[in-house]
């Protein structure tokens, strides 16, 4: 099954700054997904990243706050912009993992101070 | 995609079977049932999925009722390492063509 390398694994950022998270897949995939997991909560889908087109955002998430790039079939980045303490969460990427199921990155734990 | 309902938490004795229920009463004919688990805020791990037949793999068994309105994930011999949050997800897609929407899941605590 596919393997995803996600980085950074954690970061502490000042409010008002931005953090860019990278995910690299070891095989070509058509779609990649970005999730947010707030403390003690389940995963919430932010957007679907398709190569060659703009990302599709879920309700409540906007491109200005969460810009996504998908330059090729193995790589994607998520930027969390204009950080506030409410953005402190774990961010995860996901991609098709093989014949069945999806693979997830190990997550980025973001703390905004 | 149909919504799922799971108990928030369950306990299981080590070595015994863990049976995790999931209700998906609004599931439609082309929707699959997926199970994932998440250990200590790591990335979720795929367990199993099915459409209408019961499924078994090296990790677990999935039992889907005949009307497909509910299912049960069975871990046949639970170990302490199976302590995790288990998510039941219904999705119209299979074979890596769609998105997964997570509910609140069931926190399974396996006890010695």
Give me the pLDDT at residue A6, please: 97
Using a pLDDT cut of 70, give the percent of chain B over it.
93
**Residue B69 scores a pLDDT above 70:** yes
Contact B96 A102 (CB under 8 A): yes
DSSP string, A51-86: TTS--EEPTT--TTTS-EEEEETTEEEEEE-S--GG
CA end-to-end distance (rounded Å), chain B: 38
Contacts of B58 (CB under 8 A, 6+ apart): none
Is B81 an 8 Å CB contact of chain A?
no
Is A43 an 8 Å CB contact of chain B?
yes
Exposed / middle / buried, residue A99 (Cβ in 10 Å: 0-12, 13-18, 19+): exposed
The alpha-carbon gap from A101 to the nearest alpha carbon of chain B, in Å, equals 6
Name the more confident of B104 and A51: B104
Contact A96 B96 (CB under 8 A): yes
Give me the pLDDT at residue A2, please: 81
DSSP-derived secondary structure letter, B16? S
**Residue B80 scores a pLDDT above 70:** yes
Give me the pLDDT at residue A100, please: 65
Written as tens digits, the pLDDT of chain A (113 aa) is 789 999 999 999 999 999 999 999 999 988 899 999 999 999 999 999 988 888 999 999 999 999 999 999 999 999 999 999 999 999 999 998 766 678 999 999 999 99
Is B42 an 8 Å CB contact of chain A?
yes
pLDDT tens, residue by residue, B18-59: 999 999 999 988 888 999 999 987 899 999 999 998 999 999
CA end-to-end distance (rounded Å), chain A: 37
Name the more confident of B28 and B17: B17
Give me the pLDDT at residue A96, please: 80
Q: Which residues of B touch A92 (CB under 8 A)?
A: 43-44
Please state whether beta strands A108-112 and A89-96 pair in parallel, antiparallel, or not at all (unpaired).
antiparallel
Contact A111, A9 (CB under 8 A): no
State chain B's mean pLDDT as an integer. Answer: 91
The alpha-carbon gap from B99 to the nearest alpha carbon of chain A, in Å, equals 8
Smallest CA-to-CA distance from B102 within A109, A41, A61, A27 is with A41
Q: How many angstroms separate the CA atoms of B34 and B57, rounded? A: 13
DSSP-derived secondary structure letter, B5? B
**Residue B94 scores a pLDDT above 60:** no
**Residue B101 scores a pLDDT above 90:** no
Give me the pLDDT at residue B95, please: 52
């Amino acid at each position: 099954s596919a393997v995803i390398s996600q980085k950074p694994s954690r970061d502490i950022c000042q409010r008002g700054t931005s953090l860019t998270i990278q995910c690299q897949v070891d095989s070509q995939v058509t779609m990649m997904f970005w999730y947010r997991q707030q403390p003690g909560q389940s995963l919430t889908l932010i957007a679907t990243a398709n190569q060659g087109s703009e990302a599709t955002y879920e309700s409540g998430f906007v491109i200005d706050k969460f810009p996504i790039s998908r330059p090729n079939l193995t790589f994607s980045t998520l930027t969390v912009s204009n950080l506030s303490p409410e953005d402190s969460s774990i961010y995860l990427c996901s991609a098709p993992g093989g014949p069945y199921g999806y693979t997830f990155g190990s997550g980025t734990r973001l703390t905004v101070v | 995609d149909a919504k799922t309902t799971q108990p928030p938490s369950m306990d299981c004795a080590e070595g015994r079977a863990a049976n995790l229920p999931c209700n998906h009463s609004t599931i439609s004919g082309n929707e699959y049932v997926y199970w994932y688990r998440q250990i200590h805020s790591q990335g979720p791990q795929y367990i199993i999925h099915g459409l209408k037949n019961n499924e078994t793999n090296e990790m677990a068994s999935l039992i889907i009722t005949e009307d497909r309105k509910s299912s049960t994930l069975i871990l046949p011999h639970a170990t302490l390492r199976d302590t995790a949050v288990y998510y039941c997800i219904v999705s119209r897609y299979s074979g890596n063509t769609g998105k997964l929407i997570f509910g609140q899941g069931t926190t399974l605590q396996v006890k010695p």
